[in-house]
Amino acid sequence: MPAVGNVTGNKQNLYRALKIGAESFYERVLSALRTPTRPKIVQDGPVKQLIEEPRLTKLPILTHYEKEPGPYINSSIVFARSPDGKIENASVHRLMVLDDKHAAIRIVPRHLYRLLQMAKQGGKPLDVSVTIGVHPAVMVAAASPPPFGVSEFDVANSLMDGQLKLIQCETVDAFAPSEAEIVLEGRILADKTVLEGPYVDLLGTYDAVRNEPVVEFTRMLRRRDAVYHALLAGGSEHKILMGVTKEAKIWEVVRNVVPRVTGVNMSNGGCGWLHAIVSVEKQTEGDGKNVILAAFAAHPSLKHVFVVDSDIDVNNPEEVEWAMATRFRGDRDILVIPNARGSSLDPVGDPATATVTKVGFDLTRPFTKPKESFEKGLIPNEKETVQRILGK
């Protein structure tokens, strides 16, 4: 079976998959989160072309880094329902392969964790489907958690203009995309845990070894010509899938602080998770610090926020650094927030509380000096002159 990676290794690939431009991406994601629509449930689909006993060693599951204990499935969307069937969740989780029918699953205290606790209270395992190889819209939806109780598959269906179709799994009470490459049916066991890790996560550093639940698989569905989606942890695709939905949320919240937000970038150097660069049209002094606070509120895992003027390209690190060099004063334009909750992935955070010191940098020009003092010099007709010379 072939494997493919870096499918959405740049944002342009993601925009093309969703058939939208960069300028409308945030609105499209936020609209889908506000107005999710139920996908159609179908009896059949390409993923049911082959139905087999679960054999994880039949899949090209990769071991990515030297200290990892073995192969990891990490592009997997895990779907589960509450015992009464009223609450659904689809989210991305890593699975450490144990044998052909078992894997350890890393679960953080969010939506899937709550569903697992509900199942445990009833003394039962939690039925799940694990999907590998889907339309990028499904990955985006699974990485952008809506409120608890809203299904990410419904969000994905809105992103796909109603084109997502689901199948009902037969050995477990779960749904899965009908056009996926591979679907594993199984249950998260209520009473069994194993040591999981070390694993290189989003930051490119090794996450801690923990006791995590075990999934026992009951069946495998796949296309005849299935392609396995391999996601390099800490690679560009991982950072983009995790970061773009946070960009949309930051963009939405910051717009309540300033009239116009011209760009948001969860930067590659910040691992698509810890650093945000936000460009705005500043109206009054103090706007920069309000934007910093809004960004931290929109994405609590943020560690550093950089606010720049609208003439700075948030995707160009050299321009951002230039803004810091020419428009920033350390005694005036820095905001320090100690002992705030950050990311559990941050290696310098408090291991018990995940608290960190958050810092915001206001790199916008001050209104106390003439605007001309901060303008970048332009060469007249530069582009036309270069093109004319090269044309000769």
Q: Which helix (H) or strand (E) holds 293?
A: helix 287-298
Task: Kindly state whether residues 210 and 321 are assigned to the same domain.
Answer: no
- Residue 147 within any structural domain of the chain: yes
| Predicted pLDDT of residue 392 | 58
d(CA 107, CA 92): 10
Helix axes 287-298, 236-254, angle to 10 degrees: 120
- In DSSP terms, 205 is beta-bridged to none
Q: Which of 35-39, 256-260, 379-383 has the lowest mean pLDDT?
A: 379-383
Same structural domain for residues 213 and 281?
Answer: no
Of residues 245 and 380, more confidence is placed in 245
Here the CATH number for the domain that contains residue 82 is 2.30.110.10
Considering the candidates 201, 287, 309, 333, report the single residue annotated as catalytic: 201
Query: Has residue 160 got a pLDDT over 70?
Result: yes
Say yes or no: 290 and 151 in one domain: no
**Average pLDDT of the residues in 373-388:** 77
Q: Do residue 125 and residue 87 come from a single domain? A: yes
Same domain, 281 and 173: no
What is the C-alpha separation between 227 and 357, in angstroms, rounded? 43
Pick from 289, 302, 312: nearest CA to 362: 289
Out of 229, 245, 278, a domain closes at 229
Percent of the chain with pLDDT strictly greater than 90: 82
The parent domain of residue 283 ranges over 255-374
- Mean pLDDT across the chain: 93
Q: What is the pLDDT of residues 332-376, one digit of tens each?
A: 999 999 999 999 888 898 888 889 999 999 999 998 887 777 887
Q: What is the predicted pLDDT for the residue at 231?
A: 92
Q: Are residues 189 and 279 both part of a single domain? A: no
Quick one: 27 and 170 in the same domain? yes
Residue-level pLDDT at 382: 74
The better pLDDT of the pair 375, 256 is held by 256
* Residue 148 shares a structural domain with residue 272: no
Q: Could you read off the pLDDT of 298-327 as tens digits, one per residue? A: 999 999 999 999 999 999 999 999 999 999
> 3-state SS string over 332-354?
CCEEEEEEEECCCCCCCCCCCCC
* Better-scored residue on pLDDT, 373 or 211: 211
63 vs 387, higher pLDDT: 63
- Concerning whether 362 is annotated as a catalytic residue, the answer is no
199 and 326 together in one domain: no
Same domain, 7 and 120: yes
Any domain includes 386: no
